């Protein structure tokens, strides 16, 4: 299981009143593992379990995996891992820019 990224919690805070944006994390682990994880690492957005089939189908091997889905429910972008080398501000700005672009389309 991976650690929550504080930048994602900041993005969740930024868009919490925006009905066009839904932040949803998917974990490949079982519900029991996710429940135990959330007791130690609370998320400010939804985390669902049992996504290992989706990860396998999409060829995702790194976590966390962030899916950017448009209004037509099509995956437009997938970002995996945590971009530590870019820093928290760059991470926040990149993800916010992706979300804003999807909102315009």
- pLDDT digits over 25-68, tens only? 888 888 898 888 888 877 788 888 888 888 899 888 877 678 88
- pTM here is 0.74
8 CB contacts (<8 Å, ≥6 apart)?
Answer: 23, 25, 43, 44, 45, 64, 66, 95
Q: Which of 2-6, 44-48, 78-82, 98-102 has the highest mean pLDDT?
A: 98-102
Q: What is the pLDDT of residues 65-87, one digit of tens each?
A: 788 899 899 989 888 766 555 56
| 3 state SS of 19 | coil
Count Cα neighbours of 60 within 13 Å in the Cβ-side half-sphere.
Answer: 21
Cα–Cα distance for residue pair 25/99, rounded to 1 Å:
15
Q: Which residue has the higher pLDDT, 80 or 20?
A: 20
Return the pLDDT at 102. Answer: 92
Size of the chain in residues:
105
Give the pLDDT of residue 37: 82
Token code pair at residue 31: 């519900």
């Amino acid at each position: 299981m991976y650690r929550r990224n504080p930048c994602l919690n900041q993005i969740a805070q930024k868009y919490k009143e925006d009905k066009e944006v839904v932040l949803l994390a998917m974990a490949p682990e079982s519900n029991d593992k996710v429940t135990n994880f959330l007791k130690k690492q609370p998320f400010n957005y939804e985390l669902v379990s049992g996504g290992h089939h989706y990860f396998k189908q999409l060829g995702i091997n790194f976590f966390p995996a962030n899916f950017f889905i448009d209004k037509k429910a099509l995956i437009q972008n997938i970002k995996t891992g945590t971009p530590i080398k870019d820093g928290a501000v760059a991470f926040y700005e990149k993800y916010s820019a992706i979300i804003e672009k999807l909102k315009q389309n």
